[in-house]
Amino acid sequence: MLVEDDVRLSALIQEYLEQQQFKISIEGRGDVAVQRILDEKPDLVVLDLMLPGLDGMDVCRQVRSEYKGPILMLTARDEDIDQVVGLELGADDYVIKPVKPRVLLARIHNLLRRHAILTEYEGKKSLIVIGELKISKTMREAHINEQLLLLTSQEFDLLWLLASNAGSVLSRDDILSSLSGGEYDGLDRSVDIRIARLRKLLGDNPAEPRYIKTVRSKGYLFSRQIKGE
């Protein structure tokens, strides 16, 4: 589903993606998009930020707890704060306009491929319990003190990766390679942004973390044992 109010741009993107064998539905209003996303459950949402009725940030916020597919934000706003807020609200990727069609296609393929791989084994029971934290790979859900954590697809994948390697230090390169197949270039902040959000959801104090610890110059360590348990 493409949520974009620029009719000409929507038509161009639709034409290109349909040539690549995608089926595209278009919605031009943010307030209408929320219910359509929840009802139609598209495989992926490309979401503009500046929309009539409801902006893209609010659309993302309202659907994220129920919609489990990838969300790619497509916007002309290139400020770092917009990217940070978008990722914190649940976007899985963030692309700045203007974007070349082949680049957009590659980002879409990457999100869909990663989502498919990570949900392939949902039928197999897999559960991690550390302290009051319970993570179910089968349901792709995490609870802390029986409260559901509102995680994006990528945030869940990151949490599962860290928790399943509890007691071992994972570098940023390890994390990016495992989650997206990419390499850390020393500038990519997406891992740090998601780590910060996970800490917030887990109630972790960065100064004295219980779950996710920063190992200077090496990476991140998920604790095997929670102090006070």
Please state whether beta strands 45-48 and 2-3 pair in parallel, antiparallel, or not at all (unpaired): parallel
* 227 within some domain: no
Residue 93 sits in the same domain as residue 135: no
What would the pLDDT profile of 173-193 be if each residue is shown by its tens digit?
888 878 765 554 455 577 888
Domain boundary among 119, 137, 156: 119
Chosen domain end from 75, 103, 119: 119
Q: What's the pLDDT band for 124 if we cut at 50, 70, 90?
A: very low
Judgement on whether residues 106 and 198 belong to the same structural domain of the protein: no
Enumerate residues 6+ apart whose C-beta is below 8 A from 188: 172, 176, 182
- What pLDDT sits at residue 126? 79
Let me know if residue 19 belongs to a domain: yes
Lowest pLDDT segment from 94-103, 113-122, 126-135, 167-176: 113-122
Last residue of a domain, one of 119, 147, 164: 119
- The closest alpha carbon to 22, from 85, 112, 142, 116, belongs to 112
Domain-located, residue 91: yes
Q: What is the pLDDT of residues 18-72, one digit of tens each?
A: 999 999 999 999 999 999 999 999 999 999 999 999 999 999 999 988 898 999 9
Q: Which residues span the domain enclosing 82?
A: 2-119
Q: Which CATH number is 175's domain given?
A: 1.10.10.10
- Using a cut of 0.85, tell me whether the model's pTM lies above it: no
Residue 148 has pLDDT above 50, yes or no: yes
- Both 17 and 102 in one domain: the answer is yes
